[in-house]
Amino acid sequence: MAEIPASPQVELQDVYPWTGELDAVTGIPPRKALDLVLPVLLRRMGTDGLPMAALMIDIDHFKKINDKWGHGTGDAILAHVAGIIRETAYFRGEAFRYGGEEITVFLPNCTVDEAEVVAERIRRSIFVNPLEMEVGNSSEGGSEIPLAVTVSIGVSGFPDVEGSELLVAADQALYRAKNEGRNRVCSYSPDISDDGGNVVIEVTFPAQSLISEGSYVILTKWFRHRQEMTEIEAREISDPSRGVREIAEGRTPDEGFVTAEITGRVVSVERRKDKTFFSFEVKPETLELMFDHLRDKSR
């Protein structure tokens, strides 16, 4: 395996040639390449007493994009974002598809302060370069419209955190960025877990709703999307402060269905013709109860 040059001005693939296939959607190395590179990088940076940073990047509201525009557009956005990330980080490190809509970037010989600058460049480059999406039949005068995309980014650095915790710390910083409103960069700090620790759930209500930001509501019937506890569909919403109960009609799902009370605060709302999307902040122990509830039902 090739030696790492003293200067970080080189792509990691030149240092650790990846002979396997690249990710088919994004065109960047896959998760198994990341798992191969990380321990080698940490060992070398630690031996030489050099810093190293990691970025965890998540495309904001990706599920809503898939729901509205289709998975083909979702894949196009993934490729678009991955290309911008790789181009922006070209001289400092390499990007890997971590999974789903998350992309990880390793920045060897890079401090957290330097990594924050790279992360902000990535965030801004994606923000100001929307994906040009074709609408209609091009042979019949179809047109292109810009589809705006934003990302949230978490930053962590070695040796500020233990090497084995590099990605965990970046992921915690990413969740802070998402909880604080998305389209921003946040760096890991030990007090992240002391900021209230609330979990934000993305909720789809398959009907129009009158809920508003800042209100405390109760979901009494809901189920999971793709087994993700932080992305759910609600069928009943109650707002005790207004004495309102809203019910969405539709076929009851076969699995994952929960009839229980889960209370939290609405932190953002997006209304469409036949659906309402909102972010719902709950205490972590409440979410844990839901995990236990589902586990007990499956036994």
pLDDT tens by residue, 205-221 = 989 998 888 788 888 88
Side-chain half-sphere of 129: how many Cα atoms within 13 Å? 15
pTM of the shown model: 0.64
3-state class (DSSP) for residue 246: strand
Q: Which of the following is catalytic: 94, 101, 102, 246?
A: 101
The pLDDT of 90-102, averaged and rounded, is 87
Q: Is 111 exposed, middle or buried (0-12, 13-18, 19+ CB in 10 A)?
A: middle
- Does 154 or 69 have the greater pLDDT score? 154
Q: Which of 20-29, 35-44, 157-166 has the highest mean pLDDT?
A: 20-29
Instruction: Identify the pLDDT of residue 13.
Output: 47
The pLDDT of 234-239, averaged and rounded, is 88
pLDDT confidence bin for 256, thresholds 50/70/90: low
DSSP for 95-124, written as a single string: EEEEETTEEEEEEET--HHHHHHHHHHHHH
Q: Is 102 annotated in the active site?
A: no
pLDDT confidence bin for 113, thresholds 50/70/90: very high
Q: Give the mean pLDDT of the chain.
A: 81
Instruction: Identify the pLDDT of residue 155.
Output: 96
Q: Which domains does the chain have, with CATH numbers?
A: 12-194 (3.30.70.270), 199-298 (no CATH)
